[in-house]
Amino acid sequence: MRRIVLLALAFLMLSTPVRSAEPPLFDGHIHYSRPDWTAYTPDQVFAILDQAGIRRALVSSTPDDGTLKLYERDPKRVIPILRPYRTRDDMSTWWKDPAIIAYLEQRLAKGVHRGIGEFHIHGKDIRTPELARITEMAVQRNLYLHAHSDDAAVIELFAIEPRSKIIWAHAGMSSGPQAVGALMDKHASLWADLSFRYGDVAPGGTLDPAWRALLVRHADRFMLGSDTYITSRWEQVVGMAGEARKFLKQLPPDVAEKIAYKNIERLFP
């Protein structure tokens, strides 16, 4: 009898379809800034990313040393992006401070960074010689700009340098799908991370119809994001990954795969 039961169980296991593993996630917005260093070692950070299923991430930090700590630990997993902030105080002056140019040039000389940002800039602040030089540097070095900006600043950045490649942090934070879509229609080199937008994209876990239409229409332009801008956000990374997986399952599989990881894989091979 025991032999019959074991054979029956073996047959059942062979005939039951194996559920495919969850697809990997690539994260377009991670910070590992100075306050995080005492709370989480690089190994602990990677353990959190492992638990969330995040295989690669765009990382920028204040100061840049945090990014390099993670990059040196796992250069295949970390895509370094250089913030123009030596300290948080630079956040309110960086676009009009000539010293930032020298700082960026010195850090970019390391040859590991793939972009400049995430930086904060708004349309009313944007026309400065320093920012013009930074956009020029990005184009010359084939770097992406990761901009935390309003719609007006995105328009101005492309006006300053039409060849710019911009990742729009938080898809504008408060910009609606119509405004985001209009800018993407106009600029083929505009992408957006969805950090802090999961509640707008899928309120209550259900995809908003207008956002769904936009994600499908511009499936090649969106990426996920956690934005660990303060240390406590690290506690939420796994939960945010779960939120993302929930709304990704409501998209066509090819669209979901692009947003989950293929878009970052293509931009940063």
What percent of the chain is predicted at pLDDT more than 90? 90
pTM, entire model: 0.91
Residue 203: CB atoms within 10 A of its CB come to 12
| C-alpha span between 243 and 246 (Å, rounded) | 5
Strand-by-strand arrangement of the 78-82 sheet = 25-30, 54-59, 78-82, 115-121, 144-149, 166-168, 190-193, 222-223
pLDDT single digits (tens) 112-138: 999 999 999 999 889 999 999 999 999
pLDDT at 163: 97
Looking at 5-14, 87-96, 216-225, which range is the least confident one? Answer: 5-14
pLDDT at 202: 98
Domains in the chain, start-ordered, CATH in brackets?
Answer: 25-267 (3.20.20.140)
pLDDT single digits (tens) 209-222: 999 999 999 999 99
| C-alpha span between 186 and 51 (Å, rounded) | 38
pLDDT at 12: 42
Q: Which residues, in sequence order, are bridge partners of residue 78?
A: 57
Residues 37-52, mean pLDDT to the nearest whole number? 98
pLDDT at 33: 98
Q: Is a pLDDT exceeding 90 seen at residue 8? A: no
Looking at 3-12, 146-155, 201-210, 251-260, which range is the least confident one? Answer: 3-12
